[in-house]
Amino acid sequence: MAETSHKEETFRVGETELRVIKGGQGKPLLVFHGELGFPGWLQWLDVLARKRTIWIPLHPGFGKTPMASWIMNMRDLGAFYARFIREQKLAPVDVIGFSLGGWLAAEMAIANSAQFSKMVLVGATGLRPPSGEIMDMFTRTARGYLNASVIDSRNNPEFAKLFGGEQTPEQFEAWEDARAETARIAWAPYMYTQSMPELLANVAGLPTLILWGKQDPVVPLSAGELYHQKIAGSKLVTFDNCGHMPEVEKPADFIKAIESFLG
Amino acid sequence: MHIMWFTERAYHYLPEEEVLKRRSFFGVPNTFFDAQKGSQLLNQYLDEKIYSDELGFDGVMLNEHHGTPFCMGAVMDVEAAVLARATKRVRIVLLGNPIPTVANPLRLAEELAMIDMISGGRLVPGWVRGAGSEQLANNANPAYNREYFDEAHDLILAAWTRPGPFRWESKHFHFRFVNPWVLPLQKPHPPIWIPGLISPETVKWCAAHKYPYVALATMLKPTLEMWDLYTAEAAVHGYQAGPENFGYLQPIFVHETEEKADELGKNFLFGGGFANFARPEWMFPPGYNSKEATRRLASLYANPNLPGKTLVPQHLHSMNDIAAIKKAVYDNYESSKESLQIITGTPKSVIPKLRKVLEVLRPGIFSFWLDGPSPREDRLTCLKLLGTEVLPAVREIGKELGLADPFQIAPGSRPLAASGRPERVGSPEALAAI
C-alpha cells in the first residue's frame, strides 16, 4: 500500500518550535506518541488519513522539537499542548494517545475535557495498575523495552519494519532523547499521576474509547479496566493475543475499532 | 606530592560466575551476602586504613557505590567518621560523594563538617555525579543529574560559608532554614578534589572551579589530553595549571616476589574487574549523559571495533560459556601490564614503572589502588611494602620532578604567562618513550 503523503511542519508554541507531522485530509485528528517517540508512519495512519488530517506533534525534548526545560511533569506538558490546541483553533479535536501519550490525553481531559471531541486511549499509562505494575523502561535498553512490549517481536513484519535490523547511531540518539525526556516527566512515581483515579471524574461526558492488548506486558489490562470504570460512559475494547502495541500487533482490529468509534 | 592509597571495599565471597554470567557486579542478588563475612571484611578494610596511617601515607582515599558487591562502602561518610577518630595523621580523602543521588545536600554538609571537626581538619571532600547504576539504586532522576550536581554543590558550599540562617530556593532543592551549627574546621571550607573517568564536561568544570582533578586509572594518552583540556580552560579563567591541579589513581600490586605480585595482580580482574561494573542499561540511564556524550556513545555502539568498550569480546556477550568469558578476561592481563594500567612486582621493580607514569602525567596527587579477592596477609604485605619502600621512593621522584601537591601550592594560584598561553603540565614526550 502506498503511504499517504505526510510532511513535517513547525508551529511556535511560546518559546518552543514544535515540530508536527501532518498528513491526510479532512477533520483534524490529534495523535500523541508514546515514551520512545513517534515510531514512523504506520498502516493505520494510512487508512485514517483518507478521511482525516492527522496531526502528530513530536513532544518537546524527544529530539526534533527542542527540550523545554520548564516542562517537568505531565501537567506541564498537557498545558503546553492546551496552548497549542487553542492557538491553532483545533478545539474541540479528536485525540488518540498511545502509552505515555494516552496519559497525556487523559491529563488534558481532566484539566479541560471541552478541548477534545472524542478521546482514544491505547495502552495508556497514567494510572497505577490495581494489579501488576508498569514495566520499567529505565532498567532496560530502548531496544530491550520494545522487544519486551509486544507478544512476538520476531514474527511481526510491521514491528520488524519499524525496529528490526542493526541499531543505527541516529536511532540510538533518538531513543536516548526520548528516554531522557520521559525521565524528566515520569521518573517517579513511575508513569502515573497519583490522584488520577479521583480526577478522572472530570472527564465525564467526553466520548472515550479505551483500547488494550489483553496480554499487555507494559501496562497491565487492570489499568485499562480502571480507566473504563472511572471514565463514565467510556467503552473498553480488548485484543486477544496482543501486547502493548495493538496498532502494530492487531492492525486490522485496531483500525476497525477506531473507525467505528470516530465515525 | 600527596601520596595516598585506595581500595574498593569489595565483598568477594562470591562465586565469580555469578558476575560473569551477568556481565555485571551491579544486579547480583544480595542473597549472596553473608553478614558475618561482610562484618569481618568491613573491619579488615578499616584496619588497613588505620595501619597505613602508621606507615606514613599522606592520605587514605574512600569512594562510594550502591547495590553492588564491587564496593560495600555504600555510605562512605560512616567509614570516614570512624577513620576521623581512629587515625592521627592521614588526610581522609572522599572521592567522592555522589551528590546528585543525595536527596538532602544539607544533611551531607553537616556529616562532612562533623568528620572535619572530629578529624581535626583532615577531611578532603570530593564530589561525583555517581555511576549510572547509582542513580537507579538511589532512585535519583538521571535526567536531572547535572542540575542536581550543580545545585547540591552550591548549597553545600553555601551551608559551610554563608552566615545562617538563610533560605535556599533552587530548581530542585528547597530549604527554608539553613543554619548548620557544626561547620568545618578548615576555613573557609575543606579543600575539594574531584575524581573522574575523564569526561570533558567534568574536567572543564574542575578547571573553572580550581578543583584538582583525579583521573581514576584511565589510559595514559586520553588522560594527558584531558590535562591539556584542563590547562586550556584554566588559562581562560586566568591561571596556569600545575601538578597541584592533577591526580592519578594507579592499580599496583607489590609483594616479595614477582610471582606473588602477579597472583595479586590477576585477582584485580576478578569478575571482569571494572569492565563488568554494570551493564549498559544500568551504566547509561536516561538523560545521564550530555547530548555530546550520547553521540560519542552512539558511534561506539555502531563501531564495536573501537577500543575501550569492554574487556569481554562482543561475540561472547550472547554466550553462556563462562569459561570462554573468563579466559577473555584474564587474557587481557599481560596487555594491561604492558600499558601500565596495572603495575606489579617487588618494590625494586615497580619503582621504575611508577617513575614512567609520573613523568608522563606529572600529578601532584597520587594514589595507589589495591583490590581483588587476595588474602588478608597478602594485602597487608602489599600495603607494608608500598608504605615503607615504594612510597619514600615515589616521594623522592616527586621532589625531583617538581610535583607540588595542593597543600604546597594552592590550585589556581600560579600566574599565567604574560602571553596568556598556558604551559603544558604533562609530557607527551615521556609517553612516546614508553
pLDDT in tens, B298-323: 665 543 333 334 444 455 555 568 88
Whole-number percent of chain A with pLDDT over 70: 98
pLDDT of A167 = 78
Nearest to residue B61, comparing CAs of B51, B76, B44? B76
B295 and A182 in contact by Cβ < 8 A? no
Residue B306 CA to residue A173 CA, distance in Å, equals 18
Its CATH class, for the domain covering A6-262, is: alpha beta
B281 and A180 in contact by Cβ < 8 A? no
Q: How many CB atoms lie within 10 A of CB B238?
A: 10
Residue B166 has pLDDT above 50, yes or no: yes
pLDDT of B305 = 34
Beta strands in B112-160 (DSSP E): 123-128
Mean pLDDT, range A121-125, rounded to an integer: 98
Q: Looking only at Cα atoms, what is the longest distance across chain A?
A: 46
pLDDT of B325 = 84
pLDDT band for position B324 (cuts 50, 70, 90):
confident
Q: Does B295 touch chain A (CB under 8 A)?
A: yes
Q: Among B141, B151, B170, pick the best mutation site for testing chain A contact (most A Cβ within 10 A).
A: B141
Mean pLDDT, range B389-393, rounded to an integer: 98
Residue B303 CA to residue B372 CA, distance in Å, equals 31
**Residue B142: closest C-alpha in chain A:** A183
pLDDT band for position B349 (cuts 50, 70, 90):
very high
- Residue B217 vs residue B318, higher pLDDT: B217
> Least CB-CB distance to B286: which of A169, A172, A179?
A179
- Residue A183 vs residue B289, higher pLDDT: A183
Residue B434 CA to residue B418 CA, distance in Å, equals 34
pLDDT band for position B163 (cuts 50, 70, 90):
very high
To the nearest whole Å, the CA of B285 is away from the closest chain A CA by 6
**Residue B285: closest C-alpha in chain A:** A138
Which chain B residues touch A67 with a CB distance below 8 Å? none
User: End-to-end CA distance of chain A, in Å?
Assistant: 23
Mean pLDDT, range B80-92, rounded to an integer: 98
Q: Does B294 touch chain A (CB under 8 A)?
A: yes
Residue B149 CA to residue B172 CA, distance in Å, equals 10
pLDDT of B317 = 53
pLDDT of B276 = 85
Q: Does B282 touch chain A (CB under 8 A)?
A: yes
pLDDT of B280 = 82
Q: Among A35, A168, A176, pick the best mutation site for testing chain B contact (most B Cβ within 10 A).
A: A176
Query: What tens digit of pLDDT does each residue of B106-154 get?
Result: 999 999 999 999 999 999 999 999 999 999 999 999 999 999 999 999 9
To the nearest whole Å, the CA of A192 is away from the closest chain B CA by 15
Residue B357 CA to residue B354 CA, distance in Å, equals 5
pLDDT band for position A2 (cuts 50, 70, 90):
low
Looking at every residue in chain B, the average pLDDT score rounds to 93
Mean pLDDT, range B151-173, rounded to an integer: 98
Nearest to residue A63, comparing CAs of A191, A171, A168, A153? A171
Which chain B residues touch A182 with a CB distance below 8 Å? 286
Residue B326 has pLDDT above 90, yes or no: no
B329 neighbors B272 (Cβ within 8 angstroms): yes
pLDDT of A3 = 65
B366 neighbors B223 (Cβ within 8 angstroms): no
Which chain A residues touch B141 with a CB distance below 8 Å? 183-184, 187-188
Which residue, chain included where needed, has cell 565469580? Answer: B16
Which chain B residues touch A186 with a CB distance below 8 Å? none
- Residue A155 vs residue B365, higher pLDDT: B365
Nearest to residue B7, comparing CAs of B79, B67, B55, B105? B79
- Residue B306 vs residue B368, higher pLDDT: B368
Residue B123 CA to residue A21 CA, distance in Å, equals 56
Mean pLDDT, range B224-253, rounded to an integer: 97
Query: What tens digit of pLDDT does each residue of B31-57 get?
Result: 999 999 999 999 999 999 999 999 999
Q: Among A36, A64, A67, A173, pick the best mutation site for testing chain B contact (most B Cβ within 10 A).
A: A173
pLDDT of B291 = 80
pLDDT of B298 = 66
Q: Among A170, A172, A175, pick the best mutation site for testing chain B contact (most B Cβ within 10 A).
A: A172
The interface predicted TM-score (ipTM) is: 0.94
A184 and B287 in contact by Cβ < 8 A? yes
Residue A24 has pLDDT above 80, yes or no: yes
Residue B415 CA to residue A138 CA, distance in Å, equals 47
Residue B283 CA to residue B267 CA, distance in Å, equals 23
> Least CB-CB distance to A138: which of B286, B294, B299?
B286
Query: What tens digit of pLDDT does each residue of A55-73 get?
Result: 999 999 998 999 999 999 9
For chain A, which residues make up each domain, given as ranges?
6-262
Residue A250 CA, distance from chain mean position: 16
Contacts by residues B225-229 (CB-CB < 8 Å, ≥ 24 positions apart): B225/B198, B226/B198, B226/B200, B227/B361, B227/B424, B227/B425, B227/B426, B228/B424, B228/B426, B229/B200, B229/B203, B229/B204
pLDDT band for position A53 (cuts 50, 70, 90):
very high
> Least CB-CB distance to B286: which of A172, A173, A180?
A180
pLDDT of B315 = 52
pLDDT of A84 = 98
Nearest to residue B384, comparing CAs of B6, B56, B3, B27? B56
Q: What is the pTM of this model?
A: 0.94
pLDDT of A96 = 98
Residue B184 CA to residue B413 CA, distance in Å, equals 23
To the nearest whole Å, the CA of A185 is away from the closest chain B CA by 9
> Least CB-CB distance to B295: which of A173, A180, A184?
A173
Query: What tens digit of pLDDT does each residue of A153-170 get?
Result: 888 988 988 888 777 888
The amino acid present at B328, given as its one-letter code, is A
Q: Does B86 touch chain A (CB under 8 A)?
A: no
Task: Name the DSSP class of A109.
Answer: H
Q: B279 φ, ψ to 5°? A: -75, 160
